[in-house]
Amino acid sequence: MNSQDMPHNPFSLIADYEGDIKDLFKQEIGQTLPILPLRNMVLFPGVVTPVMIGRESSMRLIEFARDKDELIGVVTQQDGNIDNPRENDLFKVGVVAKVVRVLEMPDGGVTVILQSFGRFRLLNITDVKPFLWANVKPVKEVLPGANDKEFSVMTDTCRDLCIKYLQTSDAFREESSFAVKNISNPIFMVNFICTNLPFDLTEKIELLEEGNQKKRTSKLISILYRECQYAQLKESIQNKTRADLDQQQREYFLQQQIKNIQNELGGSDNADSNELRKKAEKANMPQNAREIFDKELAKLERINPQVPDYNVQLNYLQTLVSLPWGKMSKDNLNLVNAKKILNKDHYGMERVKDRILEYLASISYRKTIKAPIICLYGPPGVGKTSLGKSIAKALERKYVRVSLGGVHDEAEIRGHRRTYIGAMPGRILKSLIKAETNNPVFVLDEIDKISQNNYNGDPQSALLEVLDPEQNNAFHDNFLDIDYDLSNVMFIATANTLSTIPSALLDRMEIIEVEGYLTEEKKEIARRHLIPKELKKYRKELADCIKLPMKSIEYIIEKYTRESGVRGLEKQIEKIVRKISLKKALAEDVPLDSSIDIKTVETLLGKPPYNRDKYQGNDYAGVVTGLAWTSVGGEILFIESGACKSKNPTLTLTGNLGDVMKESAVIALEYVKAHAADLSIDYRIFEQWSIHVHVPEGATPKDGPSAGITIATSIASALTQRKIRKQLAMTGEITLRGKVLPVGGIKEKILAAKRAGVTEIIISKENEKDIEEINEKYLAGLSFHYVENVSEVFDYALLDEKVARPIVFDVSNNDSSKILNN
């Protein structure tokens, strides 16, 4: 390529300006100037530089200017390959120049030395022959003051950076550095560097368009900093290459080269940023999120892919575009279908099912509704977690489950800040990304087992925002650092107990108790779900010949499990199927063609580890049957009372009783003392005899107030020696004035009474409402006696028939210490 109208070698002319350089910019010019277009060169005000001339029109212009001693305008072509440029091919800003000297070179070429003055703006081309003429408008230069210290420091920095850059370049090292060091005028030096250093042409035009000398110098410093870094990097990479570069260094060098080439071509072809940009177009981000995305994406494109910050930034942007902004699955509001699915998947749980159906019904009639936040609490194994999956199935929503058991770090909920290496969003947002919708059924499993206050924060308190319908429409994740709307998510929390959940968190949830299953319910669950589920795992030849009748199932429940749920029952069924499969594999004699009876159950599972208590009759005074609730269901409880002569009468309580139950015994004794006359008990008995109350099975802890009337009746029976009515059990809390208060666990206690053969139950009048909520089939064969006072209990429970003579005093002699118990 022939060099025409192009610069001579940079720094080939050592020049300076002595005196006030402002005089150069006061040059008067006319409205029109002959225009000299330059290829790949930008001339700055005040600079003296050589230019090689090659075009005929340019030669005619130079001759005209030299002969007439005229000023010319010097502008730069946008495209150096155009031989005859026109108005649209030229940049709009140039400088006024004067031809100082014309030199004929030995090779026949011509070099002209130009002295530049002030800037002008090109308005329009007026003529193209014999050379270009144009209308121009002078542009004022804003120069710093003579004593401007800031500009002085800036020019010194500029000089140092230029020399540093030249020292790392491949050519002109000595003469170029010498030229820059010997320029005394700071403005001339800045413009001289702008003219001669091989910067990008667009950047040079931007520098020329900047009329403020201080701002031009500041921009030049930024460019020199960058070029120095590039030059040092290039030199460093080349040196390392000579010393056998490893693969990582080679890739880094190539990446830098590719990046520079892409920038020269007018943009970056970064695969990561292009992919993110496409995903962002499809994502329905709100305006504030999109603005942050664009800002962070621009930052990503400026980061070197080899540094750790690049992956952090990339991970953040991928999270941002992966969130289901505005994506909602359509709810299936068919109540009949939802009810069918809930009943098919779970037996019982009527209150929970009704709550879900209420929610579906309300959606049908309301334009907007907040998703409910429900907390299901109850004993293990009753189906709290699986219920969430059934709800999602009924609603046709995505199902998400997060186990919170043992979570001790607040960042698990809210995410980590991006200042940490390996930062990631919290479990809430990660689960939403996995669900790909903004309204899944979100099960927060084992919410009661989150670790409380510790050095990593309080994760339970972090859930306050998540589970508050008034706040979760602007949930703030530390990693995302943008508010995200969780108001459409249906949160279902599960817990075994409410005692470890903070009251503030409980207040935000709708608490629904999932009670333990009764034996009758367990039998149905085993028949409908557990047995078919287990047999489905085996081949048909084995599954078809295993039959468990209801009697055998009930025997397994009563004798081999002690639980509120059905996990233990499921394990026993699995064990039976495993045992039978083993016997069949070993070709042993096993009754595969008939149902598995109780005897076969004992053969397969061994002797029963548990045994239900049976009613023991009323042959003994002081023994009363009570009803108790345990975590594994209802149980009957025997309260035994006796009296013995003592010099220091006391009340002795045994049977591993808790504080509340001990207090109930003290209250019961005080009530009997206060009403001794009504029971025909001589008051002197309490002065000479100790009373002992015992609850069998001393290894089992017992507590609670529901045995109050049972203990009072037991003490009264022991002191009067009156029998207790047959097939009778009772439960209720007692007060000192004899009022019978209601207790809980009524459903489980009633089933325990039925299993033990009890037919009559004494219960508080206030518990009558609980009886009315129980299915009538569970109440068959039972009669209830509702009482409000302990005296009513005594009137019905204590018979006139005596086991022995009551305790009396021998009044024939005056020794009050003689009390007979015959």
Read off the pLDDT of residues 684-737 as tens digits, 9 standing for 90 and up.
888 888 999 999 887 778 888 889 999 999 999 999 988 899 889 999 999 999
Q: What is the mean pLDDT of residues 344-357?
A: 82
Percent of the chain beyond pLDDT 90?
Answer: 13
Say which amino acid occupies 237: I
Can you give the CATH number for the domain in which 190 is found? 1.20.58.1480
Q: Is the distance from CB of 398 to CB of 328 less than 8 angstroms?
A: no
Choose the catalytic residue: 353, 523, 747, 749: 749
CATH number at residue 747: 3.30.230.10
Give residue 615's pLDDT band: very low, low, confident or very high (50, 70, 90).
low
Lookup result for tokens 């009670």: 515
Average pLDDT estimate for 618-633: 81
Shared domain check, 547 and 530: yes
Instruction: Provide the domain limits for residue 772.
Output: 623-808
With beta carbons less than 8 A apart as the criterion, state whether 715 and 679 touch: no
State the helix-helix crossing angle for 659-674 and 708-720, rounded to 10 degrees.
40
Residue 108 has pLDDT above 80, yes or no: no
Does residue 185 register a pLDDT over 90? no
Pairwise CA distance, residues 712 & 671, whole Å: 8
Look at residue 17 and tell me whether its pLDDT is greater than 70.
Answer: no
* Confidence at 637, pLDDT banded by 50, 70, 90: confident
Establish whether 626 is an annotated binding residue. no
Do residues 127 and 17 both lie within one domain? yes
What is the per-residue pLDDT across 207-249, written as a single tens digit (0 to 9) for each?
888 888 889 899 999 988 888 888 778 777 777 666 655 666 6
- Digit-coded pLDDT (tens) for 476-485: 888 888 888 8
Is 749 one of the annotated active-site residues of the chain?
A: yes
Q: Is 383 annotated as a binding residue?
A: yes
On the question of a cis peptide bond just before residue 130, with omega within 30 degrees of 0, the verdict is: yes
Give the percent of the chain with pLDDT over 70.
Answer: 88
* Short-list 761, 783, 770, 712, CA closest to 742: 770
* 1 occurs within a structural domain: no
SS3 808: strand
Total domain count for the chain?
A: 6
- DSSP state letters, 653-681: EESSB-HHHHHHHHHHHHHHHHTTTTTT-
pLDDT at 266: 46
Going by pLDDT thresholds of 50, 70 and 90, the confidence category of residue 10 is very low
Phi and psi angles of residue 798, each rounded to the nearest 5 degrees, phi first: -90, 125
Residues 418 and 542 in one domain: no
Which pLDDT band holds residue 23 (cuts at 50, 70, 90)?
A: confident
Look at residue 820 in the predicted model and tell me its pLDDT.
36
Out of 706, 714, 717, 764, which one is annotated catalytic? 706
- For the residues 461-474, what does the mean pLDDT come to? 84
- Out of 178-187, 466-475, 652-661, give the one with best mean pLDDT: 652-661
How far apart (Å, rounded) are the C-alpha atoms in residues 626 and 639?
Answer: 7
Domain boundary among 292, 322, 352: 322
Predicted local confidence at residue 716, as pLDDT: 92
Nearest-5° Cα angle at 689, 686 to 695: 100
**817, part of any domain:** no
For 149-173, how does the pLDDT look when each residue is reduced to its tens digit (9 = 90+)?
888 889 889 988 888 888 777 655 5
| 379 appears as a binding residue in the annotation | yes
The reply, when asked if residue 138 is annotated as ligand binding, is no
- Judge if 122 and 171 occupy the same domain: no
Asked if residues 466 and 491 have their Cβ atoms less than 8 Å apart, the reply is: yes
The last residue of one of the domains, among 139, 168, 194, is 139
- Asked if the structure places residue 819 within a domain, the reply is no
Please report, for the domain that includes residue 78, its CATH number: 2.30.130.40
**Residue type at 403?**
S
Residue 660 within a domain:
yes
pLDDT surpasses 50 at 131? yes
Shared-domain flag, residues 164 and 121: no
For 516: left if phi > 0, alpha if psi spans -120 to 50, otherwise beta; the answer is beta
Residue 543, token pair as written in the block: 């599954």
Reported confidence tier of residue 672, pLDDT bands at 50, 70, 90: very high
* Residue 199 structure tokens: 């910067």
How high is the mean pLDDT of the chain?
Answer: 82
Q: Helix (H, G, I), strand (E, B), or coil: what is residue 522?
A: helix
Q: Is residue 586 part of a domain?
A: yes
Which domain-ending residue is among 605, 633, 654? 605
Q: What is the pLDDT of residue 1?
A: 32
Least confident of 24-28, 70-74, 94-98, 745-749: 24-28
Note whether 93 and 124 are same-domain residues. yes
Whether 122 and 177 share a structural domain: no
User: For 658-797, where are the E strands, in sequence order?
Assistant: 689-694, 722-724, 728-730, 733-734, 740-741, 760-764, 783-787
pLDDT in tens, 757-807: 889 999 999 999 988 888 787 788 899 999 999 999 999 999 887 776 555
Grouping H, G, I as helix, E, B as strand and the rest as coil, residue 498 is: coil
Using pLDDT thresholds of 50, 70 and 90, give the confidence band for residue 284. Answer: confident
Closest-CA residue to 491 (of 504, 508, 479) = 508
β-pair type (399-403, 441-445): parallel
For residues 187 and 217, state if they share a domain.
yes
- Cβ contact 724:797 at 8 Å: yes
Confidence of residue 378 (pLDDT cuts 50, 70, 90): confident
Question: Is residue 614 a part of any domain in this protein?
Answer: no
Q: What is the pLDDT of residue 821?
A: 39
Same structural domain, 464 and 360: yes
Q: Is residue 445 part of a domain?
A: yes
Q: Is 380 annotated as a binding residue?
A: yes
Q: What pLDDT, in 10s, does the model give residues 510-527?
A: 888 887 777 778 888 888
Is residue 104 in a domain? yes
Asked if pLDDT for residue 296 goes beyond 50, the answer is yes
What pLDDT does residue 234 have? Answer: 79
Query: The domain that contains 559 carries what CATH number?
Result: 1.10.8.60
302, 307, 313, 315 alpha-carbon torsion, rounded to 10°: 140
656 in the same domain as 633: yes
pLDDT of 261 over the 70 cut:
no
Residue with tokens 């009044």: 811
pLDDT value, residue 591: 55
Known catalytic residue at 222: no
| Helix axis angle, 287-302 to 308-322, nearest 10° | 160
15/84 same-domain check: yes
The average pLDDT across 77-101 equals 88
Q: Closest by alpha carbon to 410, among 469, 476, 311, 468?
A: 476
* Residue 161 and residue 227 in one domain: yes
